[in-house]
Amino acid sequence: MPVQCGMQRNASLRGSEGAATAPILVLLFGGVLLGALDIAIVGPALPAIQAELALDSRQSAAIFSIYILFGLIGAPLLASLSDSFGRRRVYIGCLALFGAGSLVVAAAPSLGVLLAGRAIQAVGAGGTLPVASAVIADTFPIERRGRALGLIGAVFGIAFALGPVIGGILLSFSWRWLFVVNLPLVVALIGMSVALLEDRGSEARRRFDAQGAGLLALGLAALAFGASRVGSASSGLAGIGAGPAAAFAVAAAALLLFWRAERRAEAPIVEPRLLESRQMRIIGLLGLATGLAEASMVFLPTLAVNALDVSASRASFMLLPLIGALIAGSIIAGRALDRVGARPVIQLGMALTMLGLLLFALLPLSTPSFYAAGLTVGFGLASLLGAPLRFAALEEGGQAARGASQGLLTVCLGAGRLFGASMTGGIAATAAVAVAGYRQAMLAIAIGCGLALVTSAWLAIGVAGSRRHEAR
């Protein structure tokens, strides 16, 4: 009887923990979803924005690229700040920045103002995911973290599914309503943050690393500029023009100086211990490969239009199986993570991603093969973008650097996305036939995923190891 009572008491405690953390999960999910939606929701609005502001296609593309770039810059900065100044303050700051940027974009009279608003939005949005992941690590018991991170990881699939639908509805009023609608949602989420989140951070407040922040921003900006110009250079992939070469040189110098600055900083943006850790380097490489594969998916509608002779609208709907697999797979991967650990889930995800890319690259393209490859890639990316990589980074970073480890992983994922998009577009642009170019790019990225899969054999994180680490 005492044993039975103890079991009932433990079950009751677990139930009360679940009830207490459910509102926090809703809050974190909502904040990350807002940032993700503003990637997907802009696509349907571009023709209206172009017409009103008289933009060309290159200027329209900047509306996307500036969001990715400043999201990359914001992620490690805000994640690191959350370790020192507390999760609640920084998460509220992320939401406030996103709301302020939304207001600027909604009122923008010109492209310059619109891009400034998108940059402000992106800095806040970039911080929401790593800070939310750190909140989960602080708040949730270890046996429930995988599921919580899996649900957060499913946000991007949901955003890409909802984005075109929401965008189409709001465009019946004006493209500016896509950004106005963010404002009441941000206010509601800030109110929830004040009520639900603890200001948990380091007890010792350290000086902010302004030098490191500036050098990181410069390095990432130069990398993004160089990567975006390689694919459009007149020499194609056979050579790199003077502009991209200079940008890569600036990036290399800035990142080298950043590394040196971090070793001397009192409160570094990226902990040197993370960069010196072999496990964290492996996690970073896996993040780069994941970002490469994710970026190639952006070109799937164009591939369908050219290879299968379907309309652009139908090509977009042909991504729904992939998106469904991404959403369902993120939840499944989170549950599997709690049972078998990070490494086997990551390895399976990388293997499925590689297989799906090979199907796109090598099978004769047809509607059934397109759907089969999309489902395979969707389940593969779900096991990488959701819980497993973030769980591995959390465990390697330890309690003192949970936010910083999430920021570093987010930077690696974003850098992979930038280079993946540039490489795919560049190969397609230089190919005699666009379809063949896209398939060649996917084959190249599949090979990169294969190399990452081999590297993952040295990843030494699993459930048992994680629990020993937590006990320490």
Give pLDDT, residue 15: 44
Average of per-residue pLDDT across 188-194:
93
More confident residue, 417 or 372: 372
Q: Give the highest mean pLDDT range of 123-137, 218-232, 300-314.
A: 123-137
pLDDT for res 238: 44
Res. 242 pLDDT band, cuts 50 70 90: low
Do the domains 1-198 and 271-472 sit in the same CATH topology, yes or no? yes
More confident of the two residues 298 and 219: 219
Judged against a pLDDT cut of 90, whether residue 19 lies above it is answered with no
Report residue 357's pLDDT band, with 50, 70 and 90 as the boundaries: very high
Phi first, then psi, for residue 372 (nearest 5°) are -65, -45
pLDDT value of position 461: 60
Tokens in use for 146? 């995988």
Residue 182 has a pLDDT of: 92
* pLDDT bracket for residue 100 (50, 70, 90): very high
The pLDDT of residue 400 is 63
Assigned token pair, 162: 């909802």
pTM of this structure: 0.69
**Distance, CA of 79 to chain centre:** 14
- Domain spans of the chain? 1-198, 209-266, 271-472
CA atoms within 13 A on the CB side of 103: 11
pLDDT of 186 higher than 50: yes
DSSP structure class, residue 269: S
* pLDDT exceeds 80 at position 256: yes
If one compares 202 and 414, the residue with the highest pLDDT of the two is 414
Which residue did the predictor score with more confidence, 356 or 62? 356
d(CA 242, CA 419): 18
Q: In which element (H, E) is residue 75 found? A: helix 57-85
What is the pLDDT averaged over residues 159-181? 78
| Mean pLDDT of all residues in 280-305 | 85
Banded pLDDT at 95 (limits 50, 70, 90) = very high
Rounded to an integer, what is the distance from CA 402 to the centroid of its chain?
17
User: What is the model's pLDDT at position 431?
Assistant: 74
Q: Kindly state the tokens that stand for 54.
A: 């008289």
Angle of the 210-230 helix axis to the 242-264 helix axis, nearest 10: 160
Q: Are the CB atoms for 115 and 63 separated by under 8 Å?
A: yes
Burial tier of 380 (Cβ tally within 10 Å: 0-12, 13-18, 19+): buried
Choice among 270-274, 343-347, 352-356 with the minimum mean pLDDT: 270-274
% the chain with pLDDT above 70: 78
Average pLDDT over the chain reads: 79
State residue 369 phi and psi, 5-degree precision.
-70, -35
pLDDT > 90 in the chain, percent: 24
- Give the tens place of pLDDT for each residue, 101-118: 999 999 999 999 999 999
Decide if pLDDT at 43 tops 70.
Answer: no
Cα four-point dihedral sign 238, 244, 249, 252: negative
The length of the chain, given as a count of residues: 472
Q: What is the pLDDT of residues 367-387, one digit of tens each?
A: 999 999 999 999 999 888 767
* 220, 122 Cβ separation under 8 angstroms: no
The CATH code of the domain at 271-472 is: 1.20.1250.20
Query: Over the stretch 77-91, which tens digit does the pLDDT of each residue have?
Result: 788 788 778 888 899
Q: Exposed, middle or buried, 217 (CB in 10 Å: 0-12/13-18/19+)?
A: buried
**DSSP letter string, 284-301:** HHHHHHHHHHHHHGGGHH
Q: What is the mean pLDDT of residues 350-356?
A: 97
Instruction: State the pLDDT confidence band at 389, using cuts at 50, 70 and 90.
Output: confident
Q: Which fold has domain 1-198?
A: Growth Hormone; Chain: A; (1.20.1250)
The answer to whether residue 334 scores a pLDDT higher than 70 is yes
Indicate the Cα dihedral angle 189, 194, 196, 199, nearest 10°.
120
159, 210, 198: which is closest to 38 by C-alpha?
159
pLDDT tens digits, 132-159: 888 888 887 776 777 777 777 667 667 7
Q: How far is CA 377 from CA 98, 355, 390, 397, 470, in A?
A: 31, 7, 19, 29, 33
Sequence-ordered list of residues with C-beta below 8 angstroms from that of 314, at least 6 positions apart, any chain: 304
Q: How far apart are CA 221 and CA 227, in angstroms?
A: 10
